[in-house]
A and B are shown apart, each in its own frame.
Chain A
Amino acid sequence: MLELQHISYQTEDEKELLYDINLKIDDHFVVITGPNGSGKSTLAKIIAGILTPTGGKILLDGEDITGLNITERANKGVGYAFQQPVRFKGLTVKDLMSLAAGKEAKVSELCDVLSEVGLCAKEYINRDLDGSLSGGELKRIEIAMTLARGAKLSIFDEPEAGIDLWSFQKLIHVFEKMVQATDGNILIISHQERILDIADKIVYLKDGQVAMYDSREKILPNILKNTGGGSCQVLLDKGKEA
């Protein structure tokens, strides 16, 4: 279980991006949504240790992890899928998948994981994770890496962005499979209504604060009502596109 107590974050130029965030994440699927600029990605980065909060505490299964760095948090069971996958010259898909799994991955294991994201291991394992792969391919491999890690808390920052022809249904299947394998928590940053649809609970962030946090059934109609009022056209538009 992840618990955030009074988390705040201020940039160096004293811009307040998050203000007094209090959350207990103990359901399998929790989606953080909200308008652009509401602080969703900042919050995800704070949980993974990429950013350090200016105030508050982060507890993972009751242990205070606020002072731990990225590596230490990863080793405590925090997984993080980047919104923009990182490219590496010279490191192959197999190298990265092995690092994610914490051991030299066998071809059969890579085949299992990569097929979950719709990629054929044979075609990909020896390719460099660089500009020769499309944005969609990189995104799928990013998701596969997080799947291979099998962390107890996996954070996905906009996993649906750029997954090209691969269907949402398959992405959702990957999340379900992760929960089955780890009995852990998945925290997804998303605008996408179809991802909101699978959430056990939804956090609605607005202006760096938790505006709503409750079960999907209670939150979803409120979000749509809110955005219908014109405060978040982007969310509405994204819902229409899907």
Chain B
Amino acid sequence: MDAIQKNILKEVADLDALPVGAYNIRSNGATSARNTTANIDIVTKEDKPGIDIIIKPGTVHESVHIPVVVSQAGLKDMVYNDFYVGEGSDVVIVAGCGIHNCGDADSAHDGIHTFYVGKNAKLRYIEKHYGEGEEGTRGKRLMNPTTVVHLEEGAQMIMETSQIAGIDDTTRITTADLAAGAKLDIHESIMTTGEQNAVSNFTADLNGENCSCNIVSRAVARDKSRQHFTSRLNGNNVCSGHSECDSIMMDEAYVLATPELAASCTDASLIHEAAIGKIAGEQLMKLMTLGLTEQEAEEQIISGFLR
């Protein structure tokens, strides 16, 4: 790996060296490093690009890192990754994709991640998207992640997804179905700058008795960027669902929040909160009374908000 690829790996997966545990590092469309453990197997798909990550039932305190690095200008990478998280396991999966594009052709990574989380399993899934380039180059950095989640009875998943910098255009689609007692927590952080465009679309089918879903999206739109957030919660049983979309608007940005709630069961309890606004003047003032400049105060507020 060269210095650019190593830097991207650091940005998206916080890795300075090869991680402990299972991993698969994909670089410019091909696997560049892989490790499996006694409980976690990684198998290359034969019918399409991508891998199957198979976690044995009862696997606890193990992690899987599957970062993707795209540093070749003009590369269009498409990958299908399927995750089988065995019954009763408790694991962390760290994914992430970074694009470095210093050419004039667009670089893209489209990933379709499907999770099959077994009965009573617990999964924490961390996903970070990042782009960088060089001044004066015209190649765009495009990323379209799709996440499909199937939670079996009593399964729990925490998904932390962020895209803070450098992606010109993205459509992020997340769908989930939850069986009885399953629990899904999603926390999304997005910041767009310049003329970037981000579409984020969540749909959760709350099918099982007493399942619950909580979606929290924090977004900052700066300059002339555009964002469209949609969340739909379908309450099909006794369940609870909450989604929250909170956006900070700056400059000439545009944000559209479309909350949708649908219920087919009288005992479904669904709530949506949405707020769009600029940084509160009193927040800036408070930090300035502590000695920060207006710009420093703004950065503090945004970095906290997106944390």
Contact = CB atoms under 8 A, between A and B. Distances in A.
Nearest to B306: A90
Contact of B288 (A70, A79, A102, A145): A70
A100 interface: yes
A50 B285 contact: yes
A54 B117 CA distance: 65
B289 to A, nearest CB: 4
B291 interface: yes
Interface stretch (A23-31, A81-89, A112-120, A230-238): A81-89
Interface centre among A70, A74, A79 (most CB of B within 10 A): A70
A74 B282 CA distance: 15
B280 interface: yes
Given A50-B285, A88-B301, A91-B301, A145 B306 contact: no
A191 interface: no
A85 to B, nearest CB: 8
Given A71-B293, A71-B294, A102-B291, A90 B218 contact: yes
Nearest to A96: B290
Contacts of A100: 290
B291 A71 contact: yes
Given A50-B285, A70-B285, A95-B304, A89 B218 contact: yes
A95 B305 CA distance: 12
A99 B246 contact: no
Interface in A28-76: 48, 50, 69-71, 74-75
Contacts of B283: 86, 88
Helix, strand, loop or mixed for chain B's interface?
helix
Contacts of B291: 71, 74-75, 99, 102
A90 B304 CA distance: 4
Given A86-B282, A89-B218, A90-B218, A70 B289 contact: yes
The number of chain B residues touching the other chain, given as a range, is 20 to 34
Contacts of A82: 282, 286, 289
Nearest to B280: A86
B304 A79 contact: no
Interface string B272-294: 00000000101101111111111
Nearest to B303: A90
A74 B287 CA distance: 10
Interface string B95-129: 00000000000000000000000000000000000
Contacts of B293: 71
B289 A79 contact: yes
B31 interface: no
Nearest to B282: A86
Contact of A99 (B282, B300, B306): B300
Given A86-B282, A88-B283, A89-B246, A74 B290 contact: yes
Contact of A88 (B218, B289, B304): B304
Contacts of B307: 90
Nearest to A129: B304
A156 interface: no
A116 B304 CA distance: 26
A31 B307 CA distance: 40
Contacts of B301: 88, 91
A197 to B, nearest CB: 27
Contacts of A79: 289
Most buried by A among B218, B246, B282: B282
Contact of B292 (A71, A86, A145): A71
A175 interface: no
10 contacts: A48-B289, A71-B292, A71-B293, A75-B291, A79-B289, A90-B218, A90-B305, A91-B301, A91-B304, A95-B304
Interface of A: 48, 50, 69-71, 74-75, 78-80, 82, 86, 88-92, 95-96, 99-100, 102, 145, 149
